[in-house]
Amino acid sequence: MAKQLNVEVVAVESKVWSGEATAVYARTTEGELGVLPGHQPLLGELQVGSQVRIHTGGAEHAWQIEGGFLSVTTDGVTILAETAEAVDSAAA
């Protein structure tokens, strides 16, 4: 079985999504970032008005983000967002 990332998407008022993923894509203030299993640890500031996309193998989940942070550790990826509104992945 391929390696997976443990991912949590958390908004100010609630946990939005939690699970295993094959990849996470987000736009930070430094540019577009793709995170795969084994990625080096980092902390990035999320771009206001951008999207976070999570691939779970057969599906993609996406949220419109209004600022926050992305943290990559050896334990997984955490998205800490001011707000996170689900986006129709077919339209993303």
What is the tens place of the pLDDT at every residue in 10-52?
A: 999 899 999 999 999 999 999 999 999 999 999 999 999 999 9
Closest CA to 78 of 1, 3, 26, 13: 26
Residue 22 Cα distances to 1, 28, 85, angstroms = 11, 19, 21
Which pLDDT belongs to residue 91? 46
Structural domains of the chain, with CATH? 5-87 (2.60.15.10)
Query: Residue 70 pLDDT > 70, yes or no?
Result: yes
Q: How many CB atoms sit inside 10 A of residue 36's CB?
A: 12
What's the full length of the chain, in residues? 92
Which pLDDT belongs to residue 88? 76
The whole-angstrom separation of Cα 74 and Cα 81 is: 20
1 band by pLDDT with thresholds 50, 70 and 90: very low
Which pLDDT belongs to residue 89? 55
